[in-house]
Chain A
């Protein structure tokens, strides 16, 4: 079964600290790994995505690290701010051989406290 396991379920980080959320997948055919951010009452918003041919991708304070051999990828939020408090979802899909639906992790509720 195609699964994406996400941890932790919830995370509390001090303002200015680093938030780290981890995901692991089983299907080695996955070749597209996006992260979504969701605020209460809103739909998920695409934050950043990575393909397995690179080990890291950085956009502003957000970085995805990808470990193909371990079948794991993680989101790092540097200098975390209270405005980053939201639920974060990792996801995976197959892009190359026909677009398959996104398979989502269960989400991580991040709280950044001052």
Chain B
């Protein structure tokens, strides 16, 4: 069974731009969660989608948004990028919500 895939793997943007990251969950998994990982803050929860509905949301500004499609694939969008948004963005999929399997992440660098 294929694991969680994330595209692109690396991204370089400049301040003020927007970015869209994509995640394809493990086949059959309907829950997709997004996390931001930085050296200073560690792994922080962004949001979770289940059956195209946002089920949980972390404490991030409204510039961070996401959505899930009917095939369970998910995208997250960050608008008006700031230097502090530079991070590894991780997507995790699960069948029942807690046993989460992570993808390799998208490394975002904001210049």
Q: Is the CB of B105 within 8 A of A105?
A: no
Closest to A49 in B: B99
Is A44's CB under 8 angstroms from B102's CB? yes
A-B interface contact total, Cβ < 8 Å:
54
- CB proximity to B under 8 Å, residues A94-113: 95, 99-107
Question: Would A43 and B99 count as touching, CB distance under 8 A?
Answer: no
Q: Could you tell me if B56 and A43 are in contact, using CB atoms closer than 8 angstroms?
A: no
Contacts of B102 in A (CB 8 A): 36, 43-45
The answer to whether B103 and A101 touch across the interface, beta carbons within 8 angstroms, is: no
Per-position binary interface string of chain A over residues 69-94, scored 1 when its CB falls under 8 Å from any chain B CB and 0 otherwise: 00000000000000000000101010
Interface residues of A (CB under 8 A from B): 32, 34, 36, 41-46, 49, 89, 91, 93, 95, 99-107
Residues of B at under 8 Å CB distance from A? 4, 31, 33, 42-45, 48, 55-56, 58, 90, 92, 96-105
| Apart from the given pairs A34-B98, A104-B43, 18 other A-B contacts in the complex at a CB distance below 8 Å | A32-B98, A34-B100, A42-B105, A43-B4, A43-B105, A44-B90, A46-B101, A93-B98, A95-B97, A99-B55, A100-B56, A101-B48, A102-B33, A102-B98, A104-B44, A105-B42, A106-B42, A107-B42
